[in-house]
Amino acid sequence: MTQIMFNFLALLVVISAIGVVVAKNVVHGAMCLLLCLVGVAGLFVALDAYLLAFVLLLVYAGAVVALFLFIVMLLDNRGDQRPGVKHLPLYARLVALVLLLAGTASFLARAHLPSPALGAAPGVGASLKLYAYQLFTTYLLPVQVIGFLLLIAMLGVIVLSRKHEVAEDAP
Amino acid sequence: MISVSLNAYLALSVILFALGFLGVLVRRNTIVIFMCLELMLVAATIAFVAFSCYNGTMDGNVFVFFILTVAAAEVAVGLAIIVALFRRRQTIQVDQLDSLKN
């Protein structure tokens, strides 16, 4: 049962990721990204990380993809009719393809980690108490740093998106 | 209850990362490149959660929290940069943004 669910979700994730890479229309790409994230959230549920699945859907599918769609709407770029793939020399394409395939294949062929058998008890990720305990004891300093990082990111976005009055020497 | 092996999750993570990397390499649109970066981050989180679940430790799960937070901040700043770039240059295609080249 779990195997069937994993196969279905993995197929969904990989196909929608391919959709993100090959989509000509950026909006279609964003929709594929949304589908991919939903599949990943399903995988998190299969791994007993319910909270992370919820947070992934909330932050990524809710906020990030919406932000992407908003920016695509803002920057209407339909005037460009050229293909969406960069012009690379043939040797560069071949080298990149071979390296990518060799890396993936060497991992798939050679990495065999021992997979501990899990019992019927739910995994550690299912317990909210453990998250809270870890976040407020071991990881207290990183949590504060992350809060500060979010503040800085917010200020940075405000500064970046402000209109400059002085017209600079644009090309 | 869990019959899927750890290697299956890791293989999925590797394939997803490779797809995201391929997109970053070949696409011309900056927004699509950004989405492929997100794919790579999500691939890393799959590996973290799988290791955490199979090892029975909490650290990978907590780390995914931080990855999600940093990714959200990164997307906000990156998209703001893209908007500023579009205002200035009227394009977001990476092969037209070559001022440093000549």
CB-nearest partner of B77 from A10, A48, A153: A153
Residue scoring higher pLDDT (A74 or B66) = B66
Residue B22 in contact with partner chain A when CB distance is under 8 A: yes
What is the DSSP track for A34-102? HHHHHHHHHHHHHTT-HHHHHHHIIIIIIIIHHHHHHHHHHS--TT--S-SB----HHHHHHHHHHHHH
The reply to whether residue B8 touches residue A10, judged by beta carbons under 8 angstroms, is yes
Q: What pLDDT does A81 receive?
A: 61
One-character DSSP codes across A116-149? PPP-SS--GGG-HHHHHHHHHTTTHHHHHHHHHH
- Taking CB atoms and an 8 Å limit, are A64 and B32 in contact across chains? no
- Report if residue A112 sits inside a domain: no
Which among B2, B92, B95 has the least Cβ separation from residue A86?
Answer: B95
- The answer to whether residue A109 sits within a structural domain is no
Query: Which parts of chain A register pLDDT below 70?
Result: 77-84, 117-123, 125, 164-171
The whole-number pLDDT of residue A24 equals 85
Measure B100 CA to nearest chain A CA, in Å. Answer: 13
Flag if B26 and A142 touch (Cβ within 8 Å): no
Within-domain flag for A152? yes
In this structure, the answer to whether residues A74 and A131 fall within a common structural domain is no
Single-letter amino acid, residue A6:
F
Q: Where are the alpha helices (DSSP H) in B1-102?
A: 6-26, 30-55, 59-89
- The predicted structure's pLDDT at residue B28: 85
Tell me: do A71 and A144 sit in the same domain: no
The predicted pLDDT at position B2 comes to 52
Domains of chain B listed by start with CATH number: 6-90 (1.10.287.3510)
The band of B62, judged by pLDDT with boundaries at 50, 70 and 90, is very high
The answer to the question of residue A66 being in a domain is yes
Mean pLDDT of chain B: 88
Q: How far is A26 from chain B (nearest CA, A)?
A: 7
In this prediction, residue A168 carries a pLDDT of 55
Q: Do B52 and A125 touch (CB under 8 A)?
A: yes
pTM confidence score: 0.87
Looking at the domain assignment, is residue A117 inside a domain? no
- Residue A53 forms part of a structural domain: yes
Q: Which residues in chain A touch residue B78, judged by CB atoms under 8 angstroms apart?
A: none
In angstroms, the separation between the Cα of residue A64 and the nearest Cα of chain B is 7
- CA B20 to mean position of chain CA atoms: 7
Looking at residue B34, its pLDDT comes to 92
The pLDDT value recorded for residue A89 is 78
Domain limit, last residue, from A78, A102, A117: A78
Tell me the nearest-neighbour CA distance from B96 into chain A, angstroms: 11
User: What contacts A163, CB < 8 A, 6 or more positions away?
Assistant: none
pLDDT for the residue numbered A121: 60
Residue of A nearest to B40 (CA): A17
- Domain ends where: A38, A56, A78? A78
Nearest 5°: the CA angle B11, A29, A87 is 90
Number of structural domains (chain A) is: 2
- Let me know whether A71 and A132 are in one domain: no
Q: Is B75 on the interface with A (CB under 8 A)?
A: yes
Contact yes or no for A22/B24 (Cβ under 8 A): no
DSSP code per residue over A148-170: HHHHHHHHHHHHHTSPPSSPP--
* A31 CB neighbour count, 10 Å cutoff: 17
Judge whether A97 lies within some domain. no
User: Residue B82: is its pLDDT beyond 80?
Assistant: yes
HSE of B48, CA atoms in CB hemisphere, 13 A: 21
Determine, for residues B18 and A103 on separate chains, whether the beta-carbon distance falls below 8 Å: yes
Residues B36, A16: Cα–Cα separation, whole Å: 12
Domain stop point among A78, A113, A136: A78
Asked if residue A168 belongs to a domain, the reply is: no
B58·A134 Cβ contact <8 A: yes
- Token digits of residue B62: 């907590």
Do residues A3 and A72 share a domain? yes
CATH of the domain at A60: 1.20.120.1200
Domain span at A157: 127-161
Residue B99, chain A, CB below 8 Å: the answer is: yes
